Chains A and B, each alone.
Chain A
Amino acid sequence: MSGSEWPDGSGTEGGVDGGAPRVAPWVAVVLDGEIVLLNTQAAVLVHLDRDAARAWRVWEPHAGSFPWRGRRCPGRVRDALQRLVEAGVILHGPQGWTRAPVRWL
Chain B
Amino acid sequence: MIVRDLMLGAWHVRLEGPASRTGPLGAVLAPMAVQGDAPAPFEMVVSADGRGASGIVADRVLWSLPLPQAGWLGILVGQTVATLTGLLTRLLFVHGAAVAFGDCGYVFIGGSGTGKTSLAVSFLGRGARYVADDLVLVDPDAETITPVTLPLSVKPWTARAVGALPSGREVACEGETRFWLPVRTAVGPVRPSRFVFLEGRADPPRVRPCSRAQGLLAIARQVSSFSYRHRGPDALRGFARSLREASCVTVDARSPGAAVDDIMRAAAP
Contact = CB atoms under 8 A, between A and B. Distances in A.
B126 interface: no
Contacts of A29: 216, 236-237, 240
A47 to B, nearest CB: 6
Contacts of A79: none
B4 interface: no
Given A31-B212, A31-B244, A49-B211, 8 more contacts: A29-B240, A31-B211, A31-B243, A35-B213, A36-B213, A40-B233, A45-B217, A105-B237
A28 B237 CA distance: 8
B232 A40 contact: yes
Contacts of B240: 29, 31, 36, 105
Interface of A: 27-29, 31-32, 34-36, 38, 40, 43, 45, 47, 49, 103, 105
Interface of B: 211-214, 216-217, 220, 226, 229, 232-233, 236-237, 240, 243-244
A36 B244 CA distance: 13
Nearest to B228: A43
A84 B256 CA distance: 36
Contact of B220 (A40, A45, A103, A105): A45
A45 B232 CA distance: 10
A38 B236 contact: yes
B109 to A, nearest CB: 16
Contacts of B226: 43
Contacts, number: 49
11 contacts: A28-B236, A29-B240, A32-B213, A34-B211, A36-B213, A38-B232, A40-B233, A45-B220, A47-B213, A103-B233, A105-B236
A34 B214 CA distance: 9
Nearest to B214: A47
Nearest to A40: B232
Closest 9 CB pairs of A and B: A34-B213, A105-B237, A29-B240, A31-B212, A31-B213, A27-B233, A38-B236, A40-B232, A43-B229
Contacts of A43: 226, 229, 232
Contacts of A35: 213
B233 A105 contact: yes
Contacts of A49: 211, 213
Contacts of A103: 233
Contacts of B220: 45
Nearest to A32: B212
Given A43-B226, A43-B229, A31 B216 contact: yes
Contacts of A27: 232-233, 236-237
Contacts of B211: 31-32, 34, 49
Contacts of B213: 31-32, 34-36, 47, 49
Nearest to B212: A31
Contacts of B217: 36, 45, 47
A103 B237 CA distance: 11
Nearest to B230: A40
Nearest to B216: A36
A29 B226 CA distance: 15
A45 B221 CA distance: 10
A103 B212 CA distance: 20
Nearest to A45: B220
A99 B217 CA distance: 23
